[in-house]
Amino acid sequence: MAAIFVTGTDTGVGKTLVSKILIEHFVSSGLRVAAMKPVASGAIKTPDGLRNDDAETLLRATNTTFDYSQINPYVFEPAIAPHIAASQSNSLIDVNKLDEAFSVLSAGSDKVIIEGAGGWQVPLNHSLSFADWVSAKQWPLVLVVGIRLGCINHAQLTCLDILQKKNPLLGWVANIIDPGAACQDEIIHYLEESIDAPLLGKIPFSTQAERQNMSRYLVLDRLLGNEN
């Protein structure tokens, strides 16, 4: 497991939060950990160029030193689908560039935590999706399920495609993103019985989750143990 890819059932379900927790877990276990946000839509202009908040959050959590451009090879200002943002900026997301960045990160670390954009099937360009790119690598996955109305369908369809593509699914995280959602416990219980991977934990709703220590809500020792 030189790399773990963090995907989600949709955008805004907590992939960055879970990726940050994974990074901090492996750092505390004594590993050199790098982060990667291959493609990011939604960035602000800075004196150093465009910067995406999610990528910078992951970068701050690591204990390795890499350039921002290696952590986040493609960054676009508008918060829209990556392939559309790329088209609007007259560029094309090239997976070879992503591969080159990953090679640099993996050569200088023990573990790379890679966060996707949006959901599992988000396009990178008109011929390839994140699912295609990750499946070609056969990287193990952690799935973040945003617990809200409709998430059962999203989670089931995502897991079905992940397993059909024979990607190792290490586990899934239930992240409460709608505190008003009815029957949260029943939803999580149903998914725990139907998803063919362990539930790694349930993260309660918080408007400041990424600024708080949420690692106590996940049980990640089994991920470290898989390396031995």
d(CA 145, CA 175): 6
pLDDT at 210 over 70: no
- Give the residue numbers spanning the domain of 202: 11-225
Residue 137: Cβ within 10 Å count: 14
Per-residue model confidence as pLDDT tens digits over 109-129: 999 999 999 999 999 999 999
- Evaluate whether residue 5 is within a structural domain: no
- Evaluate whether residue 144 is within a structural domain: yes
In our burial notation (b when 16+ CB lie closer than 10 A, e otherwise), range 42-74 reads bbeeeeeebbbebbbbbbebbebebebebbbbb
Calculate the alpha carbon distances from 37 to 54, 65, 75, 88, 148 in Å: 8, 15, 9, 20, 25
pLDDT at 216 over 90: no
In the set 37, 45, 137, 202, the catalytic residue is: 37
When the pLDDT of each residue in the chain is averaged and rounded to a whole number, the result is 93
- Evaluate whether residue 1 is within a structural domain: no
pLDDT band at 228 (very low <50, low <70, confident <90, very high): very low
pLDDT at 150 over 90: yes
The token duo for 41 is 């839509």
- Evaluate whether residue 4 is within a structural domain: no
- Evaluate whether residue 19 is within a structural domain: yes
Q: How many structural domains compose the chain?
A: 1
- Domain harbouring 107, CATH code: 3.40.50.300
DSSP state of 5: E
Whether residue 37 lies in the annotated active site: yes
The pLDDT, as a whole number, for residue 123 is 95
d(CA 188, CA 173): 10
- Evaluate whether residue 109 is within a structural domain: yes
- Evaluate whether residue 6 is within a structural domain: no
d(CA 170, CA 178): 25
Taking the model in full, what pTM does it have?
A: 0.94
- Evaluate whether residue 147 is within a structural domain: yes
